[in-house]
Amino acid sequence: MTYIKSQSIYFQLFSSFLRIGAFTFGGGWAMISLIEREVVDNKRWIKREEFLDLLAVSQALPGVLAINIAVAVGDHLRGMKGSVAAALGTIAPCFAIILTIAVFLTPELIQSNHVVSSIFRGIRPAVVALIVAPVITSAKSMKLGWKTLWIPVVVALLIWSKLPWISNPILFIIIGGIAGYLWLRRQERRLSMARIEREEKEEGL
């Protein structure tokens, strides 16, 4: 029974990411909302907080975001084999579509064919919505309030500024990691002090 369930999860990983990869336009961020809905809401494989952690790690790693998050989810569920199943499901439709476009849809054909160009113009607004949706859901899941809203706004403006060094996203990844570590240490110290004070009060009684 365990073997059957194990085989089933690999197929489900492959088929789920295959569907997402086949019907998503706009790159990795456009896929995030669909992946989150599939693995968190529909399949209930992982919790939303865990998904956000995997998303943060996937963004920090080099490579394509869509592949990174697929590998992260697959690894979280079934290790290396799960990563391979999810990655293959993501790559297969993209490879087939790009190969088809390279063979049949040349830039000249897209520009000259009214039907094809109209289809691509119609897809653009949907792509923007798919990119914006995960940003909103991630902000809600992270409980981003007015006290912390300034952080992503300032970072986005600095990256957009194109200033030397300051606009480098790697800089903010490093700063964010260091800030998170320092915040964790501070919380641990506060909990430790609170525990010591509680124990002292109990001993005094």
Q: Are residues 200 and 115 in the same domain?
A: no
Query: Considering the entire predicted model, what is its pTM?
Result: 0.60
Distance in angstroms (rounded) separating the CA atoms of residues 18 and 91: 8
pLDDT-derived band at 110 (thresholds 50, 70, 90) equals low
Measured over the CA atoms of residue 43, residue 47, residue 49 and residue 50, the dihedral's sign is: negative
Contact 26, 32 (CB under 8 A): no
pLDDT-derived band at 2 (thresholds 50, 70, 90) equals very low
Q: Are residues 127 and 154 in the same domain?
A: no
Please give the mean pLDDT across all residues of the chain.
Answer: 79
Q: Are residues 96 and 82 in the same domain?
A: yes
Q: Are residues 161 and 134 in the same domain?
A: no
Q: Are residues 113 and 128 in the same domain?
A: yes
16-69 pLDDT, tens digit per residue, is 888 888 876 666 677 777 888 888 888 888 888 888 888 888 877 777 788 888
Q: Are residues 127 and 44 in the same domain?
A: yes
Distance in angstroms (rounded) separating the CA atoms of residues 101 and 40: 32
Q: Are residues 36 and 75 in the same domain?
A: yes
Q: Are residues 174 and 112 in the same domain?
A: no
- If one counts the domains in the chain, the total is 2
**Tokens standing for residue 44:** 């209930």
Q: Are residues 7 and 98 in the same domain?
A: yes
Average pLDDT estimate for 153-178? 83
* pLDDT > 60? residue 4: no
> Domain range holding 191?
145-205
120-133 pLDDT, tens digit per residue, is 777 777 777 766 76
C-alpha torsion 98→102→104→107, nearest 10:
110
162-174 pLDDT, tens digit per residue, is 888 788 888 888 8
The identity of residue 182, as a single letter, is L
* Domain end call among 142, 161, 181: 142
CA 96 to chain centroid? 23
Q: What is the pLDDT of residue 84?
A: 92
Q: Are residues 117 and 83 in the same domain?
A: yes
